[in-house]
Structure 1
Amino acid sequence: MSGINKVMLVGHIGKNPNLRYLEDHVAVTSFELVTAETVVKNGIKSEHFEWHHVVMWRTMAEQAALKLKKGRLVCVEGRLQTRSFEDKAGVKKHITEIVAQHFRVLGKDRDTQKGQNRPDNLA
């Protein structure tokens, strides 16, 4: 039986994307994307922030590095992927990330989150 692995996120970029090149000059860009959800509990309204790790490959990675910057509103479509690795101390870690297949910048440069309610590290 086959399934569907599809993710669509609209959020703000937490810090400038990191572009690097692997063997054979394969480009990879990664960044954190924050989404916000308004929650009402016992009549009290609050925002819940969720951070997502996004990875882009090859030509899209290079385009993203040119077009995306901290605070920009972006729509990312892709798939979930979980992988394991060992950190510098030899401890095995797991990470779930969004492997982007498409992205679109939303709004204009001036539409970054200036003056809006947001996580402190997005300021």
Structure 2
Amino acid sequence: MKSLRNSVQLIGRLGKDPEVKEFNKSKKASFTIATTDLYKNQKGAKVEDTQWHNIVIWGQLAGIAEKYLKKGMEVCVEGKLVHRNYETDKGEKKYITEINVNDLVMFGKQD
């Protein structure tokens, strides 16, 4: 059985085309996907809650993302959560949560 520790699976739409960088003969693709939940609030009004997720794909799968993924496409990503931080030139500490993807399913073009 596949380990469920630190396992994330999301289905959403790309917010932008992947940004691809090359490192020592390997590739890194990064982009965002949006997931939307619909529900009714206490007053019965429909509420749409959209969350944006930072996605990172490495290696051969990054090349596939570069070639085929476009803004608006629906995808399913599976991977793990990674938290990291860095300091800006102004000395501000920034925190980022990303999903490092190990599996990708493309559902097709934008509706």
Cα shift at 1:91: 1.9
Q: CA deviation at 1:52?
A: 0.1
Structure 2 residue ranges without an equivalent (≥5) = none
Q: C-alpha separation between the residues in 1 aligned to 2:60 and 2:49?
A: 33
Unaligned 5+ segments in structure 1 are 114-123
Mapping of residues 1-123 of structure 1, within 5 Å: 4-22=5-23, 24-41=24-41, 42-106=43-107, 108-109=108-109, 112-113=110-111
Deviation at 1:3, TM superposition (A): 7.0
Distance change in 2, residues 1:91/1:25 (3 Å): farther
| Deviation (angstroms), 1:55 | 0.2
User: How far apart are residue 39 of structure 1 and its match?
Assistant: 1.7
- Matches of 1:101 and 1:55 in 2, distance apart? 9
Moved over 4 A (4+): none
Q: What letter matches 2:7 in structure 1?
A: K
TM-score in terms of structure 1 length: 0.82
RMSD between aligned alpha carbons? Answer: 1.5
Distance 2:48 2:96 in 1: 24
Work out the number of aligned pairs and report it: 108
Percent identity, please.
Answer: 36
Q: In proportion to residue count, which structure has more helix?
A: 1
SS in 2 for 1:76: strand
| Alpha-carbon distance in 1 for matches of 2:37, 2:54 | 17
Whole-angstrom distance in 1 between the partners of 2:90 and 2:106:
37
Aligned to 1:117: none
SS of structure 1 residue aligned to 2:89: coil
TM-score by length of 2: 0.91
Q: CA deviation at 1:86?
A: 1.9
1:46, CA displacement in angstroms? 1.7
- Structure whose residues are more often strand by fraction: 2
